[in-house]
Amino acid sequence: MKPFVPEIGRSVPRADAATKVTGSEKFAVDHYGENLLWAGVRRAGVPHGIIRNIDISAACDLPGVIKILTGRDVPGTNRQGIVHKDQPVICDKKVRHCGDAVALVLAQDLETLKEALNLIQVEIDPLPGVFGIDDALKPVDCLIHEEHPGGNVLLQATIEAGGGQAALAECDIILEETFEVPMQAHAFLETENGVAWQEADGKIVLIVSTQAPFRDKWEISHALGLPMDRIRVIGPYLGGGFGGKDGATVQCLLTLAALHAGGRRVKMWWDREENFLAGYKRHAARLHYRLGAKADGSLHALHCRVYYDTGAYAHLGGEVMALGMEHAGGPYRIPHTLIEGWCLYTNNPVAGAMRGFGVIQVSFAFERMIDLLAAKLSIDPLALRMQNALRQGDRNCAGVTLTHSTGIRDCLEKIRSHPLWTDREAWKASAGPFSKRGVGLAAVFNAMGYGRGLPDSAIAKVEITTEGRILVYCGVSDMGQGNATAFFQIAGQILCQESSLIDLVQPDTERTLPSGSASASRTTYTYGNALVRVCEELRRRIVGRAALLLLVDTLDDLELLPGRVRHPATGREIPLKMLAATLTDPERICIYQYLMPVVKDPPDTGKAFRIGFPHLLFSYGAHLACIEVDELTGAVAVKDYLTVTDAGRVINPQSCEQQIQGAVAQGIGYALCEELRLQAGCILTPDFSTYIIPCASDIPDMTALTVDTYEDSGPFGMKGVGEVATNGPLPAIANALADACGIHAIRSPLTAERVLTIMQGGRP
C-alpha cells in the first residue's frame, strides 16, 4: 500500500490489518520459546466446598513434571480482584465455584501436563450451594465469603431522584413487569493465555493477552508479594477481549509458575472448555420494573429493583450493577425515580466486565416497558420515545444534569425518516406463508469512562527518533476495537507525516506509560486526548527547531509537511530527518497525562458506590430490527437491522462501522441464542456446539448511520463507540416479536423453543 497521511475523519485502513491478513502479527498465544515448559491448573469441579486434601504424590512421580503447587505454596496474600481482593490465585481452604484453581502444575510438555493434572487427587467436602438470585436472597445459612459483612450480598445500593417512588401515586398509568436475562460468554477467539519467564536479575516478564497490563502488575504484586519493579507485562494485540480479559486470568498463575521454572519460559493456554469454566461472564440479572406515566405519555416515575448474579467473586460486580442502575431509566426524562440494586454472590461462574457492562440487562427492561406503555396508551412507539428523549440540560434518571452532547433525539429523528421505518407496514404485510414479520425499536445509551471516584487517566508518550520516525507509545491495549488505528490517525493528523513513518508501540509496562484499561468506551477518548497534547507539543518542538535553523521569526511562518518543514515565503525546506538529528534526547520525547472530566455536582444519592458513579459523558443509539418469525418452529430470523449512533464526531468511519456492526452481532447472539446454561453451578454449555454464537448466516447486512454531534471535550470531537450498540438488539428484537406475534417476552434469549412456547400460550 502506498504511504499516505492518516488523517482524522477518513476510513484509514487499520494500522494492524496488513500483519493480521498475512498471519505475521504475533498475538500473545503465538509466543513459544526454546526449552518451553507448560503450566496448567487443576480446577475444583465442585461449586462449593471445603478442601480436605489434595494429594499430588502420584502426579509428582510422573516423569517430566517439574513442580506442583497448591494454595499453601502461594506467597503474598494469595488474593486477587480489581476492587475487592476476594479471589484466591490457588484456593487454600475452600472452593466457591467449579472453575476455582486448586493446584498448579508445571511440566515439560503439554501431554505430561494433562496427565499430571488428571493424577492429582482432590478431596473436597461439599457445602450447600447458592445457585442463583433466589438462593442468594434467602436468609443466610450458607455463606460464600464468611468474612464479607454483607453476607451473600456483595453490594446493596440505591439511587433516588426527584420525589422517588412516591410520585407513582401521581401517575395516570402504572405498568409493572419482571424481566430475566442469563449469563453470557464473551467467546473471544483467542482464549486466555500468556508466556512468562524469570530473568537473571530476578525480574518476571509476561507476554499476556490482557486488557489492563498496568493493573496486572499491581494484581501480581499484591497476590504474590512481589515488588512492582520486578514485574514487566507486555500486552500485544488481543484476539478479542470484550471485557473478559479485564482482570486477572492467567497472570498470577503464570508468574507463580515462572518463579519455579529456573529461568525457562512457561506457557499457559486455557482451552475452550477451561475458558468457559474459569473465564469471566456477563452477569445474569432479574429486573423488576414499575413505570408510571401521565395520560399524555410523559414519563413521570420509575421504581426498579435490580438483582445481578456476580458469581463466586466480586470482580467488578458492584460497578457493573452501579452502571446498570445509572442507566435503568433509559435515555429518557423521568423526574422521579427510585432504583434499588442487589449484587449477589453465588456459587456460579464469576461474572465480570463485558461490553455493555450492566447496561445491556436494563436496556431489555426499560425498552420493553416503553413499548408496553406505547401500546397501552395507543401512542406510536417512536413518538413516545421522541417525546421523552433526553436533551442536553435535562436530568437523567440518576438525577445528573446532562451538560455534554446528548444526541438521542437526533438518532430517533433519523430512524423516523428511514425507509425501513416509513415502509414497514408494506414489508410486514408481504410475509410468506407460516411466517410473521415485525419491526421493533430500541433507544439506548452507554456511559463513557470510569465515573467519579476512580480517576480515568492516560499518559501518552510520543517520540521522534534521530532518523525522523514517529513512535507512539500506546499504554492502553487494542483488543480489536481499533483504538491503535485512531492513535495512528491522531499522530498523522497533527504531525502531518505519512503512515510509513509512524510506528505504534503496543503496551509494555517498561516502554509505555500507565493509561488504564481497554474498557468503558474510554480508550480512544482518554488516551487520544493525552495524545493530542503530546503531538501538538512535539510539532512545536520540530517547527521551533526549524525556525532556528532557517532564521525565521515566528513559528506561524512555517509549515510541517510530510518529511520536511517548509518556509512558504521563501520556499526553503529542511528535511525532517535533519531536524530530528539536531534535537537532543529530552526534546525528542513528549509526555502528558490526561484526566477525563467528571460530574461537578454529583447528586446526593448512590452513596453505596465506592467508585464508578455517576458519569458525565454518554453515547446514544437508536435501533430498528426487522424480524421474521416462523410460526411452525418459533424461530426468529433478523432480516434487516438499522442503527443510528451518536458517538460524537467520527474519527474513522470504517472503524466506527466495525464497532457498531460487531456490537449488534453480539447483541443479536444475546437476543436469540446465547445462554450460559447452569445446573447447580455446573456449566452445561462448555463449547461452541452447545453455546451457540452467531455465524455468518445468522446476521443480516446492517445499516449503521451516525448523527453529526460534536463532543467538545473529546479528541477531535469524538465519544466512545465500543459498547453502546450492543445494548440495542435484545430490546429491539423483543419489541419486533411483540409487533409480529403480539407476544410479550420477559426472558431471554428468544430461542425458537421459548418463542413457540409463548405463542402456544405457555409461560413467557
Partner 1 sequence: MIIAFTLNGEKRIIDVETDRRVVDILREDFGLTGTKESCGTGECGSCTILVDGRNRLSCLMLAIQLQDREVTTIEGMAPGGRLHPLQKAFIEHGAVQCGFCTPGMIMSSAALLKKNTAPTREEIREGLSGNLCRCTGYQKIVDAVDAAAREMEGDPRP
Measure the CA–CA gap between 424 and 522, rounded to whole angstroms.
36
Which of the residues 654 through 713 are near partner 1 (CB under 8 A)? 654-655, 657-658, 661-666, 687-689, 693, 695-697, 699, 701-702
The conformation of residue 167, written as its DSSP 8-state character, comes to G
Query: Largest Cα–Cα distance in the chain?
Result: 86
Measure the CA–CA gap between 180 and 764, rounded to whole angstroms.
11
Asked whether position 4 contacts partner 1 by CB under 8 A, the answer is no
Q: Rounded to the nearest whole angstrom, what is the least distance from the CB of residue 111 to partner 1 in the complex?
A: 8
Is it true that the peptide bond before 653 is cis, omega within 30 degrees of 0?
no
Q: Rounded to the nearest whole angstrom, what is the least distance from the CB of residue 658 to partner 1 in the complex?
A: 6
Q: What is the DSSP string of 200-259?
A: TTS-EEEEE--S-HHHHHHHHHHHHT--GGGEEEE----S--TTTTSS-SSHHHHHHHHH
Among 102, 168, 233, 238, binds partner 1 (CB under 8 A): 238
Q: For partner 1, give the closer residue by CB, 32 or 586.
A: 32
Which of the residues 732 through 761 are near partner 1 (CB under 8 A)? none
How many Cβ atoms sit within 10 Å of the Cβ of residue 671? Answer: 31
Q: Rounded to the nearest whole angstrom, what is the least distance from the CB of residue 198 to partner 1 in the complex?
A: 22
Specify burial of residue 305 (Cβ count, 10 A radius: 0-12, 13-18, 19+).
middle
Which of the residues 87 through 106 are near partner 1 (CB under 8 A)? none
Measure the CA–CA gap between 15 and 502, rounded to whole angstroms.
10
Q: For partner 1, give the closer residue by CB, 16 or 86.
A: 16
Which of the residues 32 through 91 are near partner 1 (CB under 8 A)? 32
Which of the residues 557 through 596 are near partner 1 (CB under 8 A)? none
Q: Rounded to the nearest whole angstrom, what is the least distance from the CB of residue 22 to partner 1 in the complex?
A: 5
Q: For partner 1, give the closer residue by CB, 30 or 630.
A: 30
H or E element at residue 736: helix 729-741
Q: Rounded to the nearest whole angstrom, what is the least distance from the CB of residue 191 to partner 1 in the complex?
A: 7
The conformation of residue 332, written as its DSSP 8-state character, comes to B
Q: For partner 1, give the closer residue by CB, 329 or 492.
A: 492
The stretch among 23-31, 430-438, 540-548, 614-622 that binds partner 1 (CB under 8 A) is: 23-31
Q: Rounded to the nearest whole angstrom, what is the least distance from the CB of residue 707 to partner 1 in the complex?
A: 21
Q: For partner 1, give the closer residue by CB, 53 or 697.
A: 697
Measure the CA–CA gap between 676 and 748, rounded to whole angstroms.
11
Measure the CA–CA gap between 448 and 697, rounded to whole angstroms.
32
Asked whether position 442 contacts partner 1 by CB under 8 A, the answer is no
Q: Rounded to the nearest whole angstrom, what is the least distance from the CB of residue 730 to partner 1 in the complex?
A: 15
How many Cβ atoms sit within 10 Å of the Cβ of residue 86? Answer: 19
Asked whether position 233 contacts partner 1 by CB under 8 A, the answer is no
Amino acid at 735: N
Q: For partner 1, give the closer residue by CB, 699 or 746.
A: 699
Q: For partner 1, give the closer residue by CB, 140 or 695.
A: 695
Which of the residues 462 through 501 are near partner 1 (CB under 8 A)? 479-482
How many Cβ atoms sit within 10 Å of the Cβ of residue 404? Answer: 17
Could you tell me the three cell numbers for 391? 436533551
Fill in the per-residue mask, 177 to 216: x = in contact with partner 1 (CB under 8 A), - = not in contact: ---------xxxxxx-------------------------
Among 38, 131, 197, 237, binds partner 1 (CB under 8 A): 237
Measure the CA–CA gap between 345 and 349, rounded to whole angstroms.
10
Specify burial of residue 570 (Cβ count, 10 A radius: 0-12, 13-18, 19+).
exposed
Picking from 227, 445, 257, 546, the residue whose alpha carbon sits closest to that of residue 559 is 546
Q: Rounded to the nearest whole angstrom, what is the least distance from the CB of residue 239 to partner 1 in the complex?
A: 3
Q: Rounded to the nearest whole angstrom, what is the least distance from the CB of residue 1 to partner 1 in the complex?
A: 7
Q: Rounded to the nearest whole angstrom, what is the least distance from the CB of residue 725 to partner 1 in the complex?
A: 10
Q: Which residues bind partner 1 (CB under 8 A)?
A: 1, 11, 13-14, 16-18, 20-27, 29-30, 32, 186-191, 237-242, 271-272, 479-482, 654-655, 657-658, 661-666, 687-689, 693, 695-697, 699, 701-702
